[in-house]
Structure 1
Amino acid sequence: MALLILGILSVQVLGWAGRVEQNNQHAQTSQISDAAKRKFITAILPIAQEQQKQYRILTSITLAQAALESDWGQSQLAAQYHNLFGVKSSAANAKALTTKEYVNGQWITVTADFAVYTSWTESIEAHTRLFVQGTAWDSQHYQTVLDAGNYKEAAQALQTKGYATDPNYATKLISLIQTYKLNKYDTLSETNTNE
């Protein structure tokens, strides 16, 4: 069954089995309650913090990307297939879904195969591997994201490195982090003071 995934932002995951391009129209207009948003943050917070401790990926960035791209865990891709970041895949167990991709300055609808994970933890760990291992053509591609001193720098580094085609991707991440005070979960000393 095909689904138009409206809760996911245009994201291009470089070096994975395909480009991930999905839009955020639903996330901007959805009526997800604050309680549901808090529940989502609570559910993924421990793994996001663990990934920051081990690999220096700011917790606020992981939380904001997951919230934005999965519509707070409410999209079918996140809810049924545990894929928080809209990662495409050519694996045998991938699920074909329709989605919106931003191509040549406009949104188009396409069918794509998306990765299936056993849990949100597995999805976050795969997301971390992309940042740590880089792309097939550049193992240091996301090093600036890892080296960022605060969430604003990290969000801008994601934009600069082409993680998302949406020209407002960094702004949207920063806005989510500020609105929900997600940077309070970052453990780097400069992260909490250098906003």
Structure 2
Amino acid sequence: MRALIVLSLITLSSTVFGAEVTYTSKQDYVKDWYSTAVRQMITHRIPASITLAQGVLESSFGNSDLAKYANNHFGIKCHEWTGERIYKDDDKKNECFRKYTTAAQSYEDHSQFLTTRSRYAKLFTLEITDYKAWAQGLKEAGYATNPKYPELLVQVIEDLKLYEYDKLGLTNSKNIDLAEIGNKNEEVSSSKSPVKTPTVKNSDKHKATSVKTKTASGKEEVIIEVENTSLNKKVTTVMSPLKKTDRSVKVQANKVKFIVAKKGDTFYKIAREFELTLSQLHRYNDFPKGKDILTEGDLVYLQPKRAASRKLRSVTLEKEMTVIDISQAYGVKTSEIVRKNKLESASSVIAKGKKVKL
């Protein structure tokens, strides 16, 4: 039975919900979560400034009941959520909100929430550095009911100078191993002993500094540094270069590249490995939007499927299949299979022995 949790104003035991973190300032909250926001920017193309500002606003910089007892920093409601949930009065009485094991999961789910819903698609046509347009776009797409939501976001971004983190996300993002960015900032210590530190500056527009260097032990690193006047210090993050994949990439008969999922694979892991976004992988594979855990043996396409089969005009099914199953098996877009065969939807089931146009 799925766990249901009702949030009330009574004291909730930290042994049930985990250790409670209290932030004394917005700056402290940003200091803990900026690197996670940058990671989300690199992976999902959502400005780090927007993610951080929403976290500050929606969670009262980590001190709201939802943040403390459900690790929900963005006020995301249940919708199609199948995990643990928590109930709280909001716009309506006793509304359902998502509950996460860790706050980092809340950040990842926030990104997936924006990238997999069509009403937010317009956001991804905007300049990634135009935080004012993103703030307005979130309001227009219905993220919040407060008519002043864009102004509130912009005020947080400008007061805390969160746009500095957008520069960090833009700096040599393809050379960054995202797994190396944790929730806590890392200062470059003297024990690193760089052998050589040539400074490579970006254009004046970005003003961030990226340095490729080696430690005394010969380990290669990328050091990214950006001036952070809101924290009155320079923020430095140390990361290893992105490792090249050793996974076998196959080419389907319809000339579409794919891999075969291994045990424990997720869309997030594969997206990071092949430098794609989660929204791209979902589009390429026609899997349900909330799906992330893959089954061993699943075909995962790394590029868009074709509108038609290059070799087969049609196929007679040897077993009952859905349109999505056929699409994955033959590398043909579900929308085209639905159209050519005059079916109702991609979830339509086609009986064994039926001929399907490809």
TM-score (norm 2): 0.39
Distance in 1 (alpha carbons) for counterparts of 2:35 and 2:205 = 18
Distance in 2 (alpha carbons) for counterparts of 1:55 and 1:92 = 23
1:79 aligns with 2:59: no
Instruction: Report what 2:89 is aligned to.
Output: 98
Residues 92 and 55 (structure 1 numbering): CA distance in 2 closer, same or farther, change over 3 Å? closer
- Where 2:133 maps in the other structure, the secondary structure is helix
The 5 Å alignment of 1:20-169 reads 33=24, 36-89=25-78, 91=82, 93-99=84-90, 101=91, 110-134=93-117, 138=118, 141-149=119-127, 150-169=130-149
Give the drift of 1:43: 1.6
- Where 1:142 maps in the other structure, the secondary structure is helix
RMSD of Structure 2 on Structure 1 (CA): 2.4
Residues 192 and 158 (structure 1 numbering): CA distance in 2 closer, same or farther, change over 3 Å? farther
Distance in 2 (alpha carbons) for counterparts of 1:58 and 1:190 = 19
Instruction: Report what 2:164 is aligned to.
Output: 184
Contact 1:51 1:128 in 2 (8 A): yes
State how many pairs are aligned.
151
Give the drift of 1:156: 1.0
Contact 1:82 1:118 in 2 (8 A): yes
Give the drift of 1:148: 2.3
The 5 Å alignment of 1:168-179 reads 168-179=148-159
- Where 2:42 maps in the other structure, the secondary structure is helix
Distance in 1 (alpha carbons) for counterparts of 2:100 and 2:205 = 30
Distance in 2 (alpha carbons) for counterparts of 1:190 and 1:51 = 24
Give the drift of 1:174: 0.5
Give the drift of 1:92: 5.8
Bigger proportion of residues as helix: 1
Residues 190 and 51 (structure 1 numbering): CA distance in 2 closer, same or farther, change over 3 Å? farther
Distance in 2 (alpha carbons) for counterparts of 1:163 and 1:63 = 15
Cα-to-partner distance string for 1:14-58 (whole Å, 9 max, x where unaligned): xxxxxxxxxxxxxxxxxx74xx32221122111110010111100
TM-score (norm 1): 0.70
Contact 2:67 2:73 in 1 (8 A): yes
AA at the equivalent of 2:29: F
Contact 2:66 2:75 in 1 (8 A): yes
- Where 2:89 maps in the other structure, the secondary structure is strand
Cα-to-partner distance string for 1:107-137 (whole Å, 9 max, x where unaligned): xx51112111011110011110011111xxx
Distance in 2 (alpha carbons) for counterparts of 1:145 and 1:192 = 21
User: RCO greater where, 1 or 2, for CA within 8 Å and sep 6 or more?
Assistant: 1
AA at the equivalent of 1:129: Q
Distance in 2 (alpha carbons) for counterparts of 1:74 and 1:41 = 13
Cα-to-partner distance string for 1:41-93 (whole Å, 9 max, x where unaligned): 12211111001011110000000001001000001110121000112226462
Gaps of 5+ in 1: 4-31, 102-108
AA at the equivalent of 1:94: R
Residues 56 and 191 (structure 1 numbering): CA distance in 2 closer, same or farther, change over 3 Å? farther
Distance in 1 (alpha carbons) for counterparts of 2:135 and 2:146 = 12
Contact 1:131 1:146 in 2 (8 A): no
